[in-house]
Amino acid sequence: GLRCRSGFKLAHMDEQLGWLRPGRAVLDLGAAPGAWSQEAARRVNATGALPGAPRGFVLGLDLLPVEPLDGVSFLGGTDVRAADTETKVRALLPGGAAHLVLSDMAPRASGVRALDHEQSLALCGAALALALVILRPGGHFLCKFWDGASSEELRARLRAAFRDVRALKPPASRRDSAELYLAASGLRAPRRP
């Protein structure tokens, strides 16, 4: 099913990134129907199934409601762009912060490629704004977008905030789609004035 195919994509990317380790706290944006959250929960040991390994935490957020999953907390009916989302997320994350922010959010496709591209970048911008205030220092950020004319601007913004940025195209994503992921690792400490 869809849950599985999507989860495989995250699994494949994490084989390269190695971010989802036991004990880590993950914020999963655009989490419905829940495949990424489920895969992340398994990898960070959110249910404590790996004996002797630190227990992680996964918070999934989506505009849509999400069916409950073992080891995952969900904020359904929540827009990442809403003014009170940061407060809600902070209240649920252990210590009010995350090691990883993942975004598989996608806008409703209009079919007009340039427009869909801009809207997907706008969602990445919203995900990044939340990540910058929710991530622990040294934390990591992954976001999906539809490639196009303004992709380089997002890349530049990520490069300014993180130590390393790379593009990933998981094999499970349709070859003809413009879908890409940017993986930004090592949030830099804010510059003091």
Q: Which residues are catalytic?
A: 144
Total residues in contact with ligand SAM, by rule CB under 6 A: 20
> Residue of minimal CB distance from ligand SAM?
30
**Element (DSSP H or E) covering residue 127:** helix 113-134
Q: Which of 33, 56, 71, 139 binds ligand SAM (CB under 6 A)?
A: 33
**Element (DSSP H or E) covering residue 27:** strand 25-29
Query: Does the CA dihedral 133-181-172-21 come out positive or negative?
Result: negative
Q: Which of 50, 63, 92, 178 binds ligand SAM (CB under 6 A)?
A: 63
- Closest to ligand SAM by CB, 98 or 105: 105
Is residue 74 a contact point for ligand SAM (CB under 6 A)?
Answer: no
Is residue 104 a contact point for ligand SAM (CB under 6 A)?
Answer: yes
The minimum distance between CB 166 and ligand SAM, in angstroms, equals 20
Is residue 32 a contact point for ligand SAM (CB under 6 A)?
Answer: yes
Is residue 58 a contact point for ligand SAM (CB under 6 A)?
Answer: no
Is residue 15 a contact point for ligand SAM (CB under 6 A)?
Answer: no
**175: exposed, middle or buried (C-beta count within 10 Å: 0-12, 13-18, 19+)?**
exposed
Contacts for 83-89 with beta carbons within 8 Å, 24 or more apart?
Answer: 85/61, 85/130, 86/130, 86/133, 86/134, 89/27, 89/59, 89/61, 89/130, 89/134
Tell which positions 126-165 bind ligand SAM, by CB under 6 A.
Answer: none
Q: What phi and psi values does residue 3 have, to the nearest 5 degrees? A: -55, -45
* Residues forming the site for ligand SAM (CB under 6 A): 3, 6, 30-36, 61-64, 79-81, 104-106, 123
